[in-house]
Copies of this chain bind each other. A is one copy, B any other.
Amino acid sequence: MSSIHLQMLQSAFASEGAFGDLDAVKQWLREQNEKVHVSVNKVRFDQMEKWGYSSETGRIRHESGKFFSIDGIRIKTNWGAVPDWDQPIINQPEVGYLGFITKVIDGMLHFLVQAKIEPGNVNHVQLSPTLQATRSNYTQIHQGKKPLYLEYFQQATPAQILIDQLQSEQGARFLRKRNRNIIIRTEEDLPHYDNFIWLTLGQLKALMHTDNLVNMDTRTVISGICIGSDTNNLQFSSTSTHPLAAGFLNSTRDQSQAVHSIEAIITFITALKSTYDLEVDRIDLKKVRNWIFDADAIRHEENKYFRVIAVDVEIGNREVVKWSQPMVEPAQEGLCAFVCKNINGVLHFAMQAKLECGNFDIVEFAPTVQCLTGNYLTSSSSSLPFLDYVLHSRNEQRILDVLQSEEGGRFYKEQNRNMIVLAGDDIDDQLPEKFIWLTLGQIHTFLKFNNYLNIQARSLISAIPFHE
């Protein structure tokens, strides 16, 4: 086994690190929160500085044409019950960096984590990757400061790069948006800034089991780490080991007992992508059917899904301290949940193939249940497979049950319930159409290649715990 795999595994099991224990981290995060001034006020679209609707382009855009825009799209598909619809969507064609620097400190691999304020965050400050920067950020369109630590990523040698993947964002909200998820390691002494700390992978994962502490960008990068793939003969007997840790490691390593081969899973996806169409045409934001473009919001005529709003932002420790921007505000919370089950002695995840209008390639693997901003609590339980099962699961089945924020730079106070539920024989091995069992190792195989797992699935995978 290569030493980096062993280091990553050890870090995943470590609930204490150079900074101290989890309480110390939470206390530090509270202090970071208290130190900063944050003010986010909703305004009218025509009050936004440097942003506005352009009748020429039919979109809400920044005067530079950079950052992102709010576009209208018309979707045609033969996938579900609704053959066509219009909606607003965030169009951000640039690929940005989401990156962690890692380093061995006191013999243990640590991640350089940033306490970052985003205007949309429920609680202002969350734990973010070392670097979180759009290309507009790092080419400094907005005349702000250069993002901290950017040069370490730009100058990383192949030997320093642990993962480097393009991964998708929310397909219902972003038009084919992707980010570069990257983790590098260094042995250098780095400059220290007081909103950065070093945490173990185990600490990051543990913090994902408390509501809204770890931001979406951290979760997506962490999901790319395949823990235990090369660790055939290791035994962990720590008292703080999670009761399912051995099961997770085994599901990563042993593919001989998987329900489906990788080739059969590729066949499953190929058949769906060959059968279903997704046609997306950009239209003028003023011509989006069934949506109302008011002075201060673009909203669905039945107030469903989400609203596009405008905000003025003033915050303390960000590159630019005062600006306007459009944001997306959800109509209600959502639920993302994986159902897992031991089959043939190996833990499997029930993956759902899901078409979302902004998907880069028609369908992606989504959690077993994903009803983003759907009103699932009042809907009939039979409407969505496994929804009822997940909502009525017993506490001891719940490996994860937590509220997680969507990306606070674009989404206004959006949080979704994230759950991983361990099923028994009450869930059949035979899954409904468009669902398929994957082991954790197979999930990581698809994760390595572009655009196979959606961000909701990755968010759940990142939180898989190895210690209590």
Contact = CB atoms under 8 A, between A and B. Distances in A.
Interface of A: 93-95, 97, 158, 161, 163-166, 180, 182, 260, 262-264, 266-267, 270-271, 273-274, 277, 279, 360-361, 448-452
A266 B448 contact: yes
Contacts of A279: 93
B450 A361 contact: yes
A42 to B, nearest CB: 32
A136 to B, nearest CB: 13
A335 B24 CA distance: 64
Contacts of A266: 164-165, 448-449
B158 A273 contact: no
A94 B161 CA distance: 38
A164 B262 contact: no
Contact of A273 (B95, B262, B270, B361): B95
10 contacts: A95-B274, A97-B274, A163-B263, A164-B263, A164-B270, A164-B271, A165-B266, A166-B273, A263-B448, A266-B448
Contacts of A166: 270, 273-274
Nearest to A276: B95
A150 to B, nearest CB: 13
B277 A93 contact: yes
A270 B165 contact: yes
Nearest to A273: B166
Contacts of A449: 266, 449-450, 452
Contacts of A263: 161, 163-164, 448
